[in-house]
Structure 1
Amino acid sequence: MKIVWIILLGLVGLIVLLVLSGYLLPKDHIASVEKDFSSSPESIYKIIRNVREYKDWRSGLKSVELESDTIWMESDSHGNTIRFGIIEERSPNYLKTKILSEDLPFGGGWEFEINPNAPNTKLKITEKGFVTNPLFRVLSKFVFGHDATMKTYLEDLSKRLESAGK
């Protein structure tokens, strides 16, 4: 019985340590990823801007419901639903999105910069976000990584461009 208490106290201590560490981390973060594609800026922009077809190529995305041409809801395979919006766009080189849901322990947005980089096209995605929950802040920074979703997005986009032959 004594060993059970020691293990239990150790787990509680670990959780307290993680939460305290989370309070020491900044709430806001900036992360970015980039990749060169052999596709044109127009082809890349067209796929990124076509929110309606996200569920056809983005892994982990179960459904997309359009509210308008610039606002939509994404539901993932874990049952999470997030409302997004396009807040700025300059075709075919720039797109800025934002999480519009306000009841989440995180938020922020992505900036897509699409630039010719002969003979390729460079796509840079920058996330400017925040994480309010201190425990989730630690996990986001040290376990998942602030750039994890963007890396997956680039991998999925790469597969989509290959399958489209663009």
Structure 2
Amino acid sequence: MRWILVIITALMLLMGVIVLIGGLLPRDHEAGRVAVFAAAPSEVYAVVADLEAMPTWRSDLVDVRPLDLAPADPAASSGSTATATDPVPASAEPPDIPPGAQAAYREVGARGPVTLAVLERDPPRRLVLYLAGMGPGFVGTWTFDLAPDPAGTRLTLTERGEIENPVFRFLSRFVIGYTTAIDAYLDDLGAHLRGPGAGAGP
């Protein structure tokens, strides 16, 4: 019985230390990676901008569904029958979609449901996505900057995020790493394009 109490006490102390350190870490962070792909910028941009097609090449995704940006109309929807391909009402999503979003989606994969919103499109040079739900209390953006390269396309992917939860803030900084999701994304993109995978960060 004494050992059980010791273990429980140690775990509580460890959790307290994690919460304390996580609370001292900044909520905001910025991380990035650079990759070069043997494909034209227009080809790379077409792939990264086609969010509904991501489950066909991203190993961590199961499904991506469009979200309806229009306010839900209960009277209009009471007599209708939804299908698997119908947009999900934005009001049904826990995270708020930022004003001015051009389109929004819900992806389901290894991290659970994640809300995506397109904030900026400038083909084939730039794409900015809003993300919410990649972890407890996480909101942020992924910015794709594409430029011609002698080998094809140089893609800089930058995450600017804010983590409200101090425990996840600690885990993201010291255990998971800020670039883990970016690295996995670029590796899958490289395999899909039959080009090199992620390079070193800037």
TM-score by length of 2: 0.75
Give the counterpart of 2:119 among 87, 90, 97. Answer: 87
For the residues of structure 1 that align with 2:30 and 2:132, how far apart are their CA atoms?
A: 18
For the residues of structure 2 that align with 1:18 and 1:66, how far apart are their CA atoms?
A: 37
Number of aligned positions between the proteins: 161
Q: Determine the structure 2 residue equivalent to 1:72.
A: 105
1:3-152 to structure 2, matched below 5 A, reads 3-67=3-67, 70-77=103-110, 80-99=112-131, 105-152=137-184
SS in 2 for 1:7: helix
Q: Determine the structure 2 residue equivalent to 1:162.
A: 194
Report if aligned partners of 2:145, 2:156 keep a CA contact under 8 Å in 1: yes
Report if aligned partners of 1:85, 1:100 keep a CA contact under 8 Å in 2: no
Distance change (3 Å), C-alpha of 1:32 and 1:112 = same
The sequence identity of aligned pairs, in percent, is: 30
Query: Cα deviations across residues 68-123 of structure 1 (Å, max 9, x unaligned)?
Result: 67211101145x2122111111100100000266x951100100001112133111
Query: Cα deviations across residues 34-86 of structure 1 (Å, max 9, x unaligned)?
Result: 111111111100000111210111111110002367211101145x2122111
For the residues of structure 2 that align with 1:133 and 1:162, how far apart are their CA atoms?
A: 38
Structure 1, unaligned stretches of length 5 or more? none
The structure with the largest helix share of the pair is 1
Distance change (3 Å), C-alpha of 1:119 and 1:76 = closer
Q: Determine the structure 1 residue equivalent to 2:94.
A: none
SS in 2 for 1:67: strand
For the residues of structure 2 that align with 1:70 and 1:100, how far apart are their CA atoms?
A: 14
SS in 1 for 2:194: helix
Whichever of the two has the greater Rg, that structure is 2
TM-score by length of 1: 0.90
For the residues of structure 1 that align with 2:3 and 2:43, how far apart are their CA atoms?
A: 61
Supply the AA of the counterpart residue of 2:4: V
Off by >2 Å, runs of 4+ in structure 1: 67-70
Query: Cα deviations across residues 6-30 of structure 1 (Å, max 9, x unaligned)?
Result: 1111111000000000010000000
Structure 2, unaligned stretches of length 5 or more? 69-101, 196-202
